[in-house]
Amino acid sequence: MLWPFYLALSALFLLAVLGLALSSERPLGWVWEVVFLLVLLGLVLYLTFLFGGLPGKGHRDFVLSANLIFALAVLIVLFLGYLREFPIYVNMALLFFVLDLVVRYFDFFWELLPRSFFFIIGGLVLLTGGVLLERKRRKLLGSFRKTQDED
């Protein structure tokens, strides 16, 4: 079961929030970020305890819910990185997006395609996606620098 992992993750998150609250250098709007992350963490914990022990259909629902929550978390981090112009947030979000994309690719298509076609088509798709994603990332980070230079 994954509940010990999620409880430890919750404790670490709450310690980080406490540290941020006691810090003298809090970024503007940090309360809203914490609220968003608390809601997301609460949703993850709820779904973990709801679907964690159910066999069969419950497990499939849990996997789908976990993937949707993960995608939502990546989008939130990407959005926060864009709003605050933090390159580290953008880079982390894109890294986890690419890792999730590769994992889902292997999960869904391993048994559906013959291996030769799987690797040929998959390699081309991943290379093309990687090049496009890197161009977009550089363009986005370049816009951060232009905004900072104008200030």
- The identity of residue 38, as a single letter, is L
CB 34 within 8 A of CB 20: yes
**Which is more confidently placed, 25 or 3?**
25
Q: What value does the mean pLDDT take over residues 93-101?
A: 84
**Which is more confidently placed, 79 or 118?**
79
Mean pLDDT of the chain: 76
CB 81 within 8 A of CB 87: yes
Q: Give the DSSP per-residue string, 89-133.
A: HHHHHHHHHHHHHHHHHHHHHTTTS-HHHHHHHHHHHHHHHHHHH
Structure confidence at residue 70 (pLDDT): 77
- Please check the confidence at residue 9 and state whether its pLDDT lies above 80: no
CB 77 within 8 A of CB 92: yes
Q: What value does the mean pLDDT take over residues 4-26?
A: 76
Distance CA 91, CA 93 (A): 6
The four Cα atoms 63, 74, 106, 47 give a dihedral, to 10 degrees, of: -10
pTM for the structure as a whole: 0.55
pLDDT confidence band for 128 (50 / 70 / 90): very high
How many CB atoms are located within 10 Å of the residue 44 CB? 20
CB 80 within 8 A of CB 33: yes
Structure confidence at residue 132 (pLDDT): 92
pLDDT tens profile 45-88: 676 667 654 445 556 666 776 777 778 778 888 887 887 787 88
- Please check the confidence at residue 133 and state whether its pLDDT lies above 70: yes
